[in-house]
Amino acid sequence: MTDTVPVTRIPRLYCPIPFAVHPDAEEINKAGLKWLSGFRLYNCEKQWKRYVSAKPGMLPAHVMPRAPRGPALQAAANLLFWLWAFDDLECDEAGDDLSAGNLTLLLCDLARVVEAPSGRSAANPILATLADLRRQLEEVATPVQVARWASAMQAYFLANTGVAIQNQRHLVPDLDTYVTLRIHSGAVKPTLMLLDVADGYELPPAELERPEIWALNEMVCAIVGWDNDVLTYHKEVIRGGADHNLVTVLSRENNCSPAEAVAQAVEMRDRALDLFLRLREQVAADAGPDLLRYLTGLSSWIRGHLDWGMATARYRNPENPAHLPRSLAAEPSVHDQRPLPVPSIAWWWRQLRPVEAMAPPLVTRLPRTPLTPVATLSDVARPSRPAASQMQR
C-alpha cells in the first residue's frame, strides 16, 4: 500500500507568532518517558521504541515554552505524553482491533477516572496512568483547575465516541459536524485548561468564562486540529484512517481533489488565525497580567504545535515520505475577514467589537521594547508560584 499512495504536497503555513521552545526540553522529555515507562503501557517493543524516538516531550516544550520548570509543568507535559500513548494504543494508531463499542466503554471508564480515580483503574495501564496523572494535578493545581481539566477531558472522550461511531460506519462527516467534533477530538482544550497550572497562577472563572476567551480557546483547538490534519493527511491515508480529517471532509463536501482540498483547508486556517489575532488584541487591550499570560499561552500553542509538527519523525514516514514544509509562509494564503461558512463557529466573529469602540492597542500600555506585539504579551512580569499549601483549595 505504501508504494501506491500519491504524495500530496503541503504548502508552507502562515503564523506570525514568534518561535519559542523551553530551555529544559530534554529534561521534560526524559521525565515524561520515565513516568510513562513505569506503567508498561506498550507491550510491543518496536512500538515503544518508535514512541521514544519521536521525543514526545518536544511538543510540551514548544507549546509551554515559558513555564517555570517544576512539578506543575511536568504534570501538564505528562498529559501530552498520556494523550500520545492513548492515541497509539487505542485510537488512530491502534488499527482495527478495537471496535467502536469497546472503545466507547473504555472512554466511559476514562471519563470516570478524571472525575475521581477508582480502584478499577489498577487493572488497566491506560486507566492507571490517567489516574496517576490526576493525582499529580491534585498536588499542583487548585480544585477549580482540576475540575476544569476534568470537564475538558470528558468533552474529549465524548467527541471521540462520535468519531469512533462514524469510523465504524465508514462515514465522512459534513463540514459543520466535523468542525464541531474537531474542537474537542484533538484533546487540545484539556491542555489549555492547564496553561495557568503550568505557569503558576490561576485564571479566575470570571475571566476564563468570558465569551471572547472561550471563543479564543475554541479557535486554538480548531486551528491546531486543522493544522494537524493537513500535516498528517499523508500519514493517515497510508494507514487508512483519514476520514476524520479536514482534507478528506473538504474533498468529499466540495467534490474536489486532495490537492484542492489542502488549499481550501489552508485558507480556512488562515482566516481563523486572522480572527484569533484580531480578537486576542481586542481582549489584551484591557486585560490584567494573568489574562495577558493566558493569551500568550494560547498563542504559543498555535505556533508551538506548528514548529513541532513540521519537525517530528511521527509525521515523516521514511518508507513513504510526506511532502511537508520545513518553514513558515511570510504571508497568509488569503486576506479575507469574513466569517467562515460554518454555522457552529459563526459566533466567534460576533465577539469582535467595532474598531472605534476598542481601547488603545496593548502596545501603547506597556513599556516600550523592541519586541513585536505578540512577544510583548509574554513579556508581562511573572509572579512566583505560591506553595501548594498556600493555593486556594
| Residue 385: predicted pLDDT | 39
Question: Are the C-beta atoms of 231 and 310 separated by less than 8 Å?
Answer: yes
| 317: Cβ contacts below 8 Å, ≥ 6 apart | 2, 234, 235, 238
Nearest to 377 by CA among 321, 273, 300: 300
- For residue 310, which phi and psi values (nearest 5 degrees)? -75, -20
**191: how many CB neighbours lie within 10 A of its CB?**
26
pLDDT of 52 > 80? The answer is yes
Nearest to 63 by CA among 307, 229, 270: 307
The pLDDT tens digits of the residues spanning 204-232 come to 999 999 999 999 999 999 999 999 999 99
Q: What is the mean pLDDT of residues 360-376?
A: 35
Q: What is the mean pLDDT of residues 280-300?
A: 98
Residue 366 pLDDT level (bands cut at 50, 70, 90): very low
pLDDT of 393 > 80? The answer is no
| Residue 322: predicted pLDDT | 65
Could you tell me where the DSSP H helices lie in the chain?
A: 25-37, 45-53, 58-63, 71-90, 100-115, 125-140, 143-168, 175-185, 188-192, 195-199, 205-208, 211-239, 246-254, 258-284, 289-311, 373-377
- Give the integer Cα–Cα distance in Å for 386 and 237: 48
Q: How many Cα neighbours within 13 Å face the side chain of 121?
A: 23
Q: What is the DSSP track for 263-321?
A: HHHHHHHHHHHHHHHHHHHHHHTT--HHHHHHHHHHHHHHHHHHHHHHH-GGG--TTS-
CA distances from 114 to 131, 145, 183 (A): 7, 12, 19
Q: Look up residue 367 and give its DSSP letter.
A: -
- Give the integer Cα–Cα distance in Å for 326 and 63: 18
For the chain, what percent of residues have pLDDT higher than 70?
83
Spacing of C-alpha 328 from chain mean position: 19
- Give the integer Cα–Cα distance in Å for 243 and 171: 7
The pLDDT tens digits of the residues spanning 323-365 come to 788 899 999 999 999 999 999 999 999 999 986 444 444 443 3
The pLDDT tens digits of the residues spanning 124-172 come to 899 999 999 999 999 999 999 999 999 999 999 999 999 999 988 999 9
The pLDDT tens digits of the residues spanning 252-288 come to 999 999 999 999 999 999 999 999 999 999 999 999 9
- Give the integer Cα–Cα distance in Å for 265 and 348: 18
CA dihedral 351, 357, 361, 364 (to 10 degrees): -150
For the chain, what percent of residues have pLDDT higher than 90?
70
| Residue 120: predicted pLDDT | 65
